[in-house]
Amino acid sequence: MQNNKDLPPSELIFDLIKGQIVLNAISTVINLKISDYLKDGPKSVMHLAEKTNTHPNSLYRLLRMLSTVGIFTKVKATQEEVKYDEIEFGLTPLASLLQSNEKNMFKNFSLILGRQSFKRAIDDLQYVIQTGENSFKHINNLNIFDYLQQNPVDAKIFNEAMTAMTSSQVSSISKLYDFSQFNTVVDIGGGQGLFLSTILKDNPNLTGIVFDLPHAIEGANQQKQQISHEKLRSDVINNSILPRCKFISGNFFKSIPSGADGYIIKNVLLNWDDESASTILKNCLQAMNFSKSYQKDNKQQKIKPKVIIVDMIMSEKNEMSFGNLLDIVMLVLTQNGRIRTKKEFTNLLDTCGFQITNIWDLSSRSSSPSDPMNFLSIVEAIPKSIDD
């Protein structure tokens, strides 16, 4: 495979520029459910236009462009001359990932980045560079978390993207890190508990707490009740996960539940600047101090509490990576949220009273290290000041 760096400058800049156009095109065909209509075989442009209520010639030009980058295949006409609306398009492996029943991170992120609220914020990148203020709030008059609470359609797409990302990673994380060493773990900012439920399933002697904002916990409790009443997930019921999982609402900038020996912070710190991230970590340290006293008073098994940060670590190599791209997305969507290097994580934890004991890289354990799905690392740290 040819390295992009080996391309002539004119071809390289073209390759870079086309990205935004392709993203918008992908988002459009997802919304139109084009891949769904092709699941039974190639279809003509006219057939697809009728199904999607679109303009045939415009749709043809969109599909023609996407076929050049491997999304859809243009089926050769049997006749030498054929009208554009009779030309058929079919699925490719890439196009199959865009079907409605596919739960993958990249499809969901293509959708959310195609929403006007997000798209306009990214288009306003120059504002961020000039002012240091996030453009999402500049464009939408609300920070991203407040905006999502007030805009349920965007929130649903965003949450589905987060769920798809967690689903693709949770099994690997649970296998890579030994959670069985703990008695109780708290998943800080754990949403509806998908990540924690997998950890509890894999570790039958473990109890857990999902900690998040009230609206997230309300949704999680509703889902929990539905599972209990309908028994739709026998794997969860049979393994007695629900009785071992509590849902507690709160604000991690104010306090974090004590009584645990493992504190998980997954895909949270990247949303915040160093000052805000420090507040979260210091509240975590305070909870650990209370937890240590709790364990002594109740004569539980004595375990040195740990914080487990599951996040992306920015490569310090001068090469294109998912981390570099996501860092710009965080720059646009949040107030100084960022993807941190190993050195930046070390300094951040050190100033908050922690020392790193180990780091695991998911990509190093994967058969496909360059797979963007394996971009996370696990950072394990212990408090420097809690007495034994």
Give the span between the Cα atoms of 308 and 187, in whole angstroms.
Answer: 9
Give the span between the Cα atoms of 135 and 124, in whole angstroms.
Answer: 6
pTM above 0.85, yes or no: no
Tens of pLDDT along the chain (388 residues) come to 345 556 677 766 666 667 778 888 998 999 899 999 999 999 999 999 999 999 999 999 999 999 999 999 988 655 555 677 788 999 999 999 898 877 667 787 888 888 889 989 988 989 999 899 999 999 999 999 899 989 989 988 888 888 877 777 888 898 899 999 999 999 999 988 889 999 999 999 999 999 998 877 776 666 555 544 444 444 443 445 778 889 999 999 999 999 999 999 999 999 999 999 999 999 999 999 876 544 444 545 556 899 999 999 988 877 767 788 889 889 999 988 999 999 999 999 999 999 999 999 886 665 454 555 567 899 999 998 755 4
> How much is the pLDDT for 7?
65
List, in sequence order, every beta strand (DSSP E) within the chain: 43-44, 73-75, 88-90, 184-188, 207-212, 245-249, 262-266, 306-314, 340-341, 354-361, 376-383
CB contact at 8 A, 87 and 44: yes
> How much is the pLDDT for 247?
92
> How much is the pLDDT for 274?
96
> How much is the pLDDT for 275?
96
Q: Give the list of residues 6+ apart from residue 135 with CB closer than 8 angstroms, or none.
A: 121, 122, 124, 125, 127, 128, 332
Tokens of 81: 């001359």
> How much is the pLDDT for 233?
46
Write phi, then psi, for 70 (nearest 5 degrees): 95, 5
Neighbouring C-alpha atoms within 13 Å toward the C-beta of 116: 3
Give the span between the Cα atoms of 13 and 317, in whole angstroms.
Answer: 21
Identify the structural domains of the chain with CATH numbers, from first to last.
Answer: 4-100 (1.10.10.10), 119-383 (3.40.50.150)
Neighbouring C-alpha atoms within 13 Å toward the C-beta of 379: 25
